[in-house]
Structure 1
Amino acid sequence: MVLTNSERITGYNVPTGREVNAATELNLYIDVLFFINFTMDFLVLSIVRRAMKYRLIRWRLILGAVLGAAWAVFAAAFPYLPVLLEMAVTYLGVSTLMVMTAFDLKRPKDIGKGLIALYLAAVAVGGIMEFLYQHTKAGYYIEQILRGNTGKAIPFYQLIFLGAGSYFGIRVMLRWLPGLWKAKSNFYEVTMHYRGKEKKVTALLDTGNRLFEPVSRRPAHVVTYEAVRELCESVSEVVYIPFGSVGKSNGVLPGIFLDEMEVRQGDDVRIIEKPLIAVSKKALSSSGEYQMLLHDE
């Protein structure tokens, strides 16, 4: 249709016989679309796992990425789904399945945290990809691959190397940054295990902690009563650990032997079997920043 000066005056806009059919045909290669989405989903899930310190289960991570890529292919193959339905399935249904599958999450609170981390990681990666698309030839090459113009597209093996290099480059950064933080931090994430229960707390490495059980000379880690109240509702054995502090030279703290304690900082994890914890009714941090003092031995 050829328009004249005013599109509101319909009498002016009459067929001339010279109209152009502007329809565009786009060949969509499902295998390429699946591969690209799988790669990006795997990258995003890997970033989430490292940021949230989830346990690595490779087959779950791969399956989570497969779910995301499969939905992307389905949505592309059937583009007539209502927009609201597609958004709900993508951002709630499929995303939830991805984090539950990849990280074996079951509790609603943990799933919610995983979803938020997934969205943040996706936004970060999306921002990087948008920058590359707008300011480099990466976007052009990817578009040519999707259109099937193999003559103009980057060779497939180079795309594989580029993707692998980007992935491992990000992994190196994620390994390096926590290491840099570790050098400046004495804080740890500690998971205490006792009779099938577990409790996570934030711990401070206390180089001045000199508490030992007097008979076995086992080092004692100090934890607040509030932190272990639900974990150790009933105990079979209690030992008493003498301590001295300003204003109290002959005090004692009740001690409990846990089943296991996992001490984590970044990618470094240390398992302590049968750790001894001394329970303090007083808060260890006025701001509540940490709930445990780790022994330095």
Structure 2
Amino acid sequence: MTETLYLDLFFLVNLAADCYLLFLTGLVLREPVRKRKGRLLLGAVVGAAAGCALVFFPNLPVSVWILLELVLPAVLMTRAAFGRGGLLELLRRTTVLWMAAALTGGSFSLLESAGGGRELPVSGNAPQAFVGTVTAVWEQTPWTFRKFGLALSVAGGALWAGTVFLRQGMAFHNSLYEATLYYQGKQKTVRALRDTGNQLYEPYHHQPVHILERSAGLEFGEAAAQVIYVPFCSVGKEHGILAAVRMDRMEIRQRGRLVRVLENPWVAFCETPLSARHRYEMLLHGELTL
């Protein structure tokens, strides 16, 4: 059975889809998409042209097909649409584009399977475009504008929510450190979070104070002779006092790399857990440069 592929229509369909995907990618990456309409269109043209070119090579090996269908067009599209960037920036843009394509394709497939599809009749004397011995099927899904808009909304919303979730998780992960405290010949390593909301200072010389859970500092014992009391206020508690000790030294590491050494830092002890899920036991001062 010979089936017909209209290459001009195939190009226009891919052009529209690539424009949408690049626009959605730009929104997720917070690119100035409204000022780059011409570049977005250029990137979509590159992607549509690559898709049409691959029609002429239907029997490619899987590895070559992955390179020419998934990797190379995505790289060229993002480069044309968003300009040059480093390797990490290119990888980030390409990954978001793949995510947008996967989510959009999944939403469309779901609605297509729910609504069914029908093949357009092909006239016997209609112009035909054959590609060797392999041709493609052109199908039209009986969608309404409402279903089409729903598919785009679902895909865009899911991608946006996933990106925000990953961005928040990465921001939290990048704010976690390992803090090793030294005091009177003893040492203790705890997980610490750099908290911009921690603006606690000791009252005498206005030096920053870090906060440690009492249960995480039991190794240091009691040091009443060297304790000062630091007043504080927080949400749900207008006034309070924390006992603070001046440690001998504190080393701060992230992923095993030493990023900061503090001599004689002030550390206050908190009776309540700082993290409900025990993901950290210490709050570093918000103005600490790391």
TM-score by length of 2: 0.46
TM-score by length of 1: 0.45
Between the two structures, name the one with larger relative contact order (CA 8 Å, sep ≥ 6). 2
